[in-house]
Amino acid sequence: MIPMIKKWKVCECFGIPLYVDVTFIALAVMCMLSSGSIIGGLLGAVLLAFSIVAHELGHSLTARKFGCPTRLIVLSVLGGCAALEKLPRSPKQELLVAVAGPAVSFALGVIGIACGAMASFIVLNFCLGLFNLLPGFPMDGGRVLRAALQMKLPRVKATWWAMRVGRVVACILGGLGFIALLHGGVNGLMLMLIAWFIWKAGHQEYIAVSCYGA
C-alpha cells in the first residue's frame, strides 16, 4: 500500500514509473548527518537511491515474469516500495519474487568488490540485502516466511503466522531504535519508523487476505 504522501515522478525504469516522495528528503538528511559533510551525504543519498531502485526492480521484473505487473516504485524515508498490481498466488513464485530484491543487492555488492567500488557502496548493498531478509512481514524475509508456510498451511493462516513473527521483529527493531536514539544515534529514528511500518502494514495485509483473499 502506497501512503497518500506528496510524491514526484522522476523517470521510468523498464516501463515502471519511479517516484520520490517528500519523506525521502529526511533520509537524505540522515545520510548527511551520518557522513558529516554535505557532499558526502548527497553522494550517499544518490548511492542509496540507486541501490534501492535496483533492489525494487529485482522484485518488479521477477513479478512481471509471473504475470504480476508493477504500478509504480516509490522511494521514501522507509526505503523503497514496489506496488504490484497483484501478488503471485503460487508460494514458489512469491518466494522467488521476495528473494529477487535481496539477490540484486548482494549481486551489486559482489560487483562492487570486483570493480573496486567505494567501500560504502559495497557495505550498503550487503546490509540492504541482509536487512530485508529479516522475517518482518511484509518485508522480503517475511514474505519468504509466508511462502514457506503456505506450502503446509492455507494462505490466511500462513499470513497470520508471518504477521505474528513480524511483530516480534518490529518490537526488537523498535527497542533497538529507541536505545540508539537515547544515545544520540539518528539511525535509531529510522529503525523505529521501520518497526512501526512492519507492525501496521503486516496487519493491513493480513486483513486484506482474510477479507478479500488478496
List the 70-76 sheet strands across, edge first.
7-13, 16-21, 70-76, 79-84
CA 137/CA 155 separation, integer angstroms: 14
Is 12 designated active site? Answer: no
CA 106/CA 180 separation, integer angstroms: 27
Task: Supply the DSSP symbol for 139.
Answer: S
Residue 137 contacts residue 146 (beta carbons within 8 Å): yes
Active-site pick, 12, 56, 85, 205: 56
Residue 194 contacts residue 176 (beta carbons within 8 Å): no
Residue 114 CB coordination number (10 Å): 8
Residue 11 CB coordination number (10 Å): 9
Q: Point out the residues that are catalytic.
A: 56
